[in-house]
Amino acid sequence: MSTFNVKIKWNKETYDLELDTNEPPSVFKAQIFALTGVTTDRQKVMFKGGVIKDDEWNSTMLKSIKNGATFLMMGTADELPVEPQQKNVFIEDMTEKELAEVLDQPSGLINLGNTCYLNATIQSLSTVPEMKECLKKYKGSLTLNESFDGAHDIVVSLRDVYNKMETSSTVMPVLLLEMLHIMFPQFSEKTENGQLAQQDANECWSELIKVLQQKLKIEPIGGDAATNSRNFITQYFGGTLQATMKCIEDESEEPTVSNENFLQLSCFISQDVKYLQTGLRLRLEEEINKYSTKLDRDARYLKTSKISRLPAYLSINLIRFFYKEKNAINAKILKDVKFSLTLDMYELCTPELQKKLVPMRQKYKDHEDQKVEKMQQQKSKTSEKPDVESGEKKDYYNYSFEDDSGSSNTGLYQLYAVLTHKGRSSSSGHYVGWIKHKGKWFKCDDDQVYQVSDEEILKLSGGGDWHCAYVLLYGPQLIEKCETLQPTSGQ
pLDDT of residue 78: 65
Q: Any bridge partners for residue 262, and if so which?
A: 239
Q: Report pLDDT for 229.
A: 54
Q: Does residue 37 form part of some domain? A: yes
> What pLDDT score was predicted for residue 328?
62
pLDDT at 94 over 90: no
**CA-wise closest residue to 460 among 430, 491, 428, 418:** 418
Give domain status of residue 63, yes or no.
yes
Q: Which of 91-105, 270-284, 432-446, 472-486 has the lowest mean pLDDT?
A: 91-105
Residue 322: predicted pLDDT: 73
Kindly state whether residue 54 falls inside one of the protein's structural domains: yes
Residue with the bigger pLDDT between 92 and 69: it is 69
List pLDDT tens digits, range 194-243: 899 999 999 999 999 999 999 999 875 554 444 445 899 999 999 999 99
Q: What is the pLDDT of residues 456-483, one digit of tens each?
A: 999 999 987 789 999 999 999 999 887 5
The mean pLDDT value of the chain amounts to 86
Q: What is the largest CA-CA distance in the chain?
A: 85
Residue 18 lies in a domain: yes
Residue 24: domain span: 3-74
How far apart are the C-alpha atoms of 346 and 429, rounded to whole Å?
36
User: Alpha-carbon distance 217 to 134, whole Å?
Assistant: 8
Span 172-196, average pLDDT = 93
* Confidence band, pLDDT 50/70/90 cuts, at residue 82: low
Is the pLDDT assigned to residue 179 strictly greater than 50? yes
pTM (whole model) above 0.95: no
Residue 70 in any domain: the answer is yes
**What per-residue confidence (pLDDT) applies to 275?**
94
Phi-psi region of 423 (alpha: psi -120 to 50; beta: other; left: phi over 0): left
Which has more pLDDT, 328 or 182?
182
- Residue 56 domain-assigned (yes or no): yes
Active centre residues (catalytic):
116, 430
Q: Which residue has the higher pLDDT, 379 or 21?
A: 21
% of the chain residues with pLDDT over 90 = 54
Provide the strand spans (E) within 310-394.
Answer: 314-319, 321-324, 329-332, 342-344
Q: How far is CA 249 from the centre of its chain?
A: 41
Least confident range of 286-295, 377-386, 440-449: 377-386
- Where is average pLDDT lowest: 55-69, 92-106, 255-269? 92-106
Looking at residue 413, what is its pLDDT? 98
Q: Quote the number of domains for the chain.
A: 1
The CATH code of the domain that includes 45 is 3.10.20.90
Contacts with 128 (C-beta within 8 Å, 6 or more apart), sequence order: 236, 313, 416, 473, 475
Is 14 contained in some domain?
Answer: yes
Beta bridge partners of 109: 171
Domain presence at residue 61:
yes
